[in-house]
Amino acid sequence: MSVLSPNLVVRRLTIDDYKDVVTLLNELTEGIPVAAGEEGRKHFAELLAHDGTTVFGVELYDRIVSCATLHILPNMTYGGRPYCLAENVVTLRAYQGRGFGRMVMDTLRDAAWAANAYKIMLLTGQDRGTKGFYESLGYKADHKYGMVLRQVPPYKPPHETNGYTN
């Protein structure tokens, strides 16, 4: 935890931050459904309990205004050093441009380096105007291609009727 002032803290998030995280993720996804309610709370608890995963946030006056998820993943290359994935990086629109995104990403980077990770990967949307932000933090897009394979619409298991799969 990093206390920058009595009203500004960068810290690991807990289940108590669930409602603020849902608000942040709804701004990030712009209409793509975010798990909410008791089901969402269950998913957030599972995320927080996942080995190697931490959600960091910037708390301003008892409200989470920025967050990012860090996944530290085991690896065989680079002498067995782990690599990391940064995901769901978001700052509330009303608080953008004040350095909160940089604070949460610096904390994420410090945690990755403390785990002896050899790299941090992230993907950002081409239409969001955030590429320059990540470049200012030292991320580069000139070494590898970021590619995504999505399952849209989401997978729904087949319904079974009388022992037959429809």
Q: How do the domains of the chain map onto residue ranges?
A: 2-165
Is the pLDDT at 5 greater than 80, yes or no? no
Residue 112 contacts residue 83 (beta carbons within 8 Å) = no
Q: Which CATH number fits domain 2-165: 3.30.70.2190, 3.40.50.620, 3.40.630.30, 3.30.530.20?
A: 3.40.630.30
Instruction: Write out pLDDT tens, residues 139-157.
Output: 888 888 788 888 876 666 6
pLDDT-derived band of residue 161, with 50, 70 and 90 as boundaries? very low
Read off the pTM.
0.85
Instruction: Write out pLDDT tens, residues 87-111.
Output: 999 999 999 999 999 999 999 999 9
Residue burial 110-125, b: 16+ Cβ < 10 Å; e: rest: ebbeeeebeebebebe
CA-derived radius of gyration, the chain: 18
